[in-house]
Structure 1
């Protein structure tokens, strides 16, 4: 008997520049199809951002941004329409990056300042290490049933110009627990966090979306092999969080 798919997912990626992001994209494009078979959804992925259009999006309940965001004004407009009309989205790590000047400037105000609420990138930890996650909203479907704290897979962690805690549209689901500190190993002192409040997973109450700060694998840059040294989908509680989020988004569930 053929199983009917509960929802359909389309993932977009670039996978061109940073080997850590390329590694994560390849890992995600192996992991999500495995989850699709277990949880009865379909998963397609593409590096053609022009597929982010009204016609293609009409066939999908959830869109993923694995490692970037679109640059074309027409494609950006199509994504805005999709979200305003009730579409669902999950983004990982570099999908929220914006820094002027850089190859990914802060030139999409709706996406970075309204939709994500994070604004521009400010700094990051280094090198990729595990953090202790603290669940801030245990009643949300994305975090329901997870331990109050748990250890994540290694990643590089970003901080932002936008104060997410002061944004009434933002529901912070997971943040860095104080037992994580010091977080990062350097070598630069600025790459090690010793204190502070850092949201890592959140949703915007005005949209059906979830952003996850993780998605940067550790890479052997020093040895010049570019070998992958860590996996993003290697923490069982974190993996559960991702699947809770995807199922909540795909089924258009309420709180």
Structure 2
């Protein structure tokens, strides 16, 4: 008799679980998400960035089904209008930035009205006399604060990140990353009162890079990796460049990816937690307008 009662309880729990999952699945199919993300990308510049965009799209699309948020990605930057962006809780730049003046204005308007944004790696790149000119002062100097690209490490290597300030995005004091190409910037973010540096390269990571050029190997210094601007609902992460089989570039049609960014559980957990917090803050700020 006792065994029969236990089986009935187990069956009841099973049926409730199935019912809950079916309701949840139907809600997600109907667009009843916790929050919605629109990610922009080009996937044209650098094999490693293309590899990262493919990985990121697969990762966020897959995790969205588990976590219950909506994820859409596009390389159609004409969708960057204020009305379109306003439909989403988070806007992502996976590998670059908009070049059209109207698109730039729409994005700035969205952010200034309380929208949320997260950008990765090449999304902050700007350099005079390059294909990505330093010609968007609000974005690079005011919004990101970093200014123009200064230098990088090479070849892509993993690093340990240290938490600079306690923050609501992660309780981890140190984050181990997968291989990445690390950027340095012309502006010293420590001198910008509007910028909160969340994580920077830990000294244990030095030397960072393998060369062969000496200036591409960092042996000392302060290098911010993840930060936010207190005046906007945003986070920038310099991570987003997978290691590739560069040595065999001309020996086959495609170049093999040697590392995956989101393989780092600590970093992945940070990003997912950040998404929830950014979306929550967007709804609070945007509704206020």
TM-score, normalised with respect to structure 1: 0.96
List 4+ stretches of structure 1 deviating above 6 A: none
Per the TM alignment, residue 74 of structure 1 is displaced from its structure 2 partner at its CA by: 0.4
- The alignment partner of 2:151 has SS state of strand
- Which residue, 72, 81, 84 being the options, matches 2:109? 81
- The alignment partner of 2:278 has SS state of helix
Per the TM alignment, residue 17 of structure 1 is displaced from its structure 2 partner at its CA by: 2.1
- Which residue, 265, 268, 273 being the options, matches 1:239? 268
Per the TM alignment, residue 210 of structure 1 is displaced from its structure 2 partner at its CA by: 0.2
- The alignment partner of 1:104 has SS state of coil
Per the TM alignment, residue 229 of structure 1 is displaced from its structure 2 partner at its CA by: 0.8
Name the structure 1 match of 2:176. 151
Name the structure 2 match of 1:91. 119
Per the TM alignment, residue 125 of structure 1 is displaced from its structure 2 partner at its CA by: 0.3
Greater relative contact order (Cα 8 A, min sep 6): structure 1 or 2?
1
Taking the aligned partners of 1:162 and 1:48, their CA distance within structure 2 comes to 31
**Match status 1:126 vs 2:117:** no
Name the structure 2 match of 1:204. 229
CA RMSD of aligned residues (A): 1.1
Structure index of larger Rg: 2
**Match status 1:165 vs 2:193:** no
TM-score, normalised with respect to structure 2: 0.85
**Match status 1:141 vs 2:168:** yes
8 Å contact kept, 2:86–2:115: no
* Structure 1: runs of 5+ lacking an equivalent: none
* Structure 2: runs of 5+ lacking an equivalent: 1-22, 285-289
8 Å contact kept, 1:6–1:251: no
The answer to which structure has the higher helix fraction is: 2
Per the TM alignment, residue 153 of structure 1 is displaced from its structure 2 partner at its CA by: 1.2
Name the structure 2 match of 1:182. 207
Per the TM alignment, residue 219 of structure 1 is displaced from its structure 2 partner at its CA by: 1.1
Q: Cα deviations across residues 30-60 of structure 1 (Å, max 9, x unaligned)?
A: 0001121122110000001111101211210
- Which residue, 29, 33, 42 being the options, matches 2:61? 33
Q: Cα deviations across residues 198-248 of structure 1 (Å, max 9, x unaligned)?
A: 100000000000000000011112111411111111111011111111111
- Which residue, 217, 221, 230 being the options, matches 2:246? 221
Residues 54-69 of structure 1 mapped to structure 2, 5 A cutoff: 54-69=82-97
Residues 35-54 of structure 1 mapped to structure 2, 5 A cutoff: 35-54=63-82
Per the TM alignment, residue 129 of structure 1 is displaced from its structure 2 partner at its CA by: 0.6
